[in-house]
């Protein structure tokens, strides 16, 4: 049986850490444009205006579908609105058991020059992915329908941009209140692979913290050299600790499983990690 999952993501406004610029010359597949059209047809029947297609948000959607397929950040603990540590974005693990609104940052600002905040619907099917199936599922679920039609709490929002991405069983729709300054994306040629593009490269230096940040780090392990620390860092990231970093201080290399703005948040995070990590300690750096 196919498995269907829907996630609505509230993305916070955040100043991106990485350089970002003009969106690459991407195109929409015919299936992606079909899904975009179905959403607007649905809105038109309710007397709602058409949402312009956004090149920037479509780029973010395409990246996320590929990250989900290639890097599988959606582990048994992490949900579909998670991002891996394989690219120049803020990696995170979101879980319904330990929801953290700061887990998902402002991906449009991190990856493009789009200035608005973003909201996302995510779908996964273990069988063939078809835009009509994706739309029928979303339109049948009140949580998604309210987002698409600006109902209930979403009535305070006015969508001015929509991005769509579909790839290998995953579909994402991003919505934003800001207009996109980028030109609309074109429709891809019919040839297979016409929408192929490389994922942006990861900035590995962001995993190494060498200067004080004022944040509270949950530390589990201290090493005398960077290579050993890096090996453990990758292990913990593979286990789902996508915020893991190496903290360099006084010639020691400590593994931070997560970092937080306050000591109380760090203590709560450590408690949720369970007995396996009860010897972890918290330090401010």
More confident residue, 214 or 96: 214
pLDDT given for residue 203 in this prediction: 62
pLDDT given for residue 244 in this prediction: 87
CA 33 → CA 7, 58, 173, distances in Å?
Answer: 21, 10, 11
Q: What is the pLDDT of residues 139-156, one digit of tens each?
A: 999 999 999 999 999 999
Mean pLDDT of the chain: 85
Matching CATH topology for 7-187 and 204-284? no
pLDDT given for residue 6 in this prediction: 43
190-212 as b/e: b if 16+ CB within 10 A: eeeeebeeeebebeeeebebeee
Query: What residue spans define the domains of the chain?
Result: 7-187, 204-284
Q: Which of 39-43, 115-119, 281-285 has the lowest mean pLDDT?
A: 115-119
d(CA 219, CA 142): 41
pLDDT given for residue 3 in this prediction: 45
Q: Per-residue pLDDT for 63 more than 50?
A: yes
Q: What is the pLDDT of residues 170-227, one digit of tens each?
A: 999 999 999 999 999 999 998 878 888 888 877 666 688 988 999 999 999 999 888 8
Q: Per-residue pLDDT for 77 more than 90?
A: no
pLDDT given for residue 75 in this prediction: 80
Topology, domain 204-284: Alpha-Beta Plaits (3.30.70)
Longest dimension (CA), the chain: 64
Q: Which of 5-19, 33-47, 118-132 has the lowest mean pLDDT?
A: 5-19
Q: Per-residue pLDDT for 29 more than 60?
A: yes
More confident residue, 249 or 166: 166
pLDDT given for residue 234 in this prediction: 82
CA 275 → CA 77, 205, 223, 240, 270, distances in Å?
Answer: 17, 31, 22, 16, 10
pLDDT given for residue 267 in this prediction: 92
Q: What is the pLDDT of residues 130-143, one digit of tens each?
A: 999 999 999 999 99
More confident residue, 31 or 13: 31
Q: What is the pLDDT of residues 102-130, one digit of tens each?
A: 556 578 888 888 888 889 999 999 988 99
CATH of domain 7-187: 3.40.33.10
pLDDT given for residue 99 in this prediction: 64
């Amino acid at each position: 049986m196919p498995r269907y999952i829907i996630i609505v993501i509230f993305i916070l406004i955040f100043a991106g850490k990485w350089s970002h610029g003009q969106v690459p010359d991407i195109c929409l597949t015919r299936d992606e444009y079909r899904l975009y059209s179905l959403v607007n047809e649905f809105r038109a029947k309710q007397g709602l205006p058409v949402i312009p297609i956004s090149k920037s948000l479509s780029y973010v959607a395409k990246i996320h579908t590929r990250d989900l397929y290639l890097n599988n950040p959606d582990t048994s603990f992490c949900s579909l609105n998670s991002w891996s540590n394989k690219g120049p974005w803020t990696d995170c693990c979101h879980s319904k058991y330990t929801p953290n609104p700061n887990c998902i940052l402002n991906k449009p600002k991190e990856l493009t020059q789009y200035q608005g905040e973003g909201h996302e619907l995510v779908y996964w099917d273990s069988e063939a992915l078809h835009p009509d199936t994706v739309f029928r599922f979303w339109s049948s679920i009140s949580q998604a329908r309210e987002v698409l039609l600006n109902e209930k709490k979403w009535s305070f929002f006015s969508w001015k941009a929509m991005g769509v991405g579909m790839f290998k069983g995953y579909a994402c729709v991003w919505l934003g209140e800001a207009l996109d300054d980028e030109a609309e994306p074109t429709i891809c040629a019919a040839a297979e692979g016409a929408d192929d593009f490389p994922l942006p490269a990861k900035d590995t230096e962001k995993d190494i913290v060498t200067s004080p940040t004022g944040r509270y780090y949950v530390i589990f392990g201290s090493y005398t050299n960077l290579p050993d620390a890096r090996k453990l860092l990758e292990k913990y990231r593979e286990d789902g600790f996508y915020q893991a970093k190496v903290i360099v201080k006084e010639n020691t290399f400590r593994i931070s499983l997560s970092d937080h703005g306050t000591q109380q948040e760090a203590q709560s995070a450590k408690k949720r990690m369970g007995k396996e990590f009860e010897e972890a300690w918290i330090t401010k750096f």
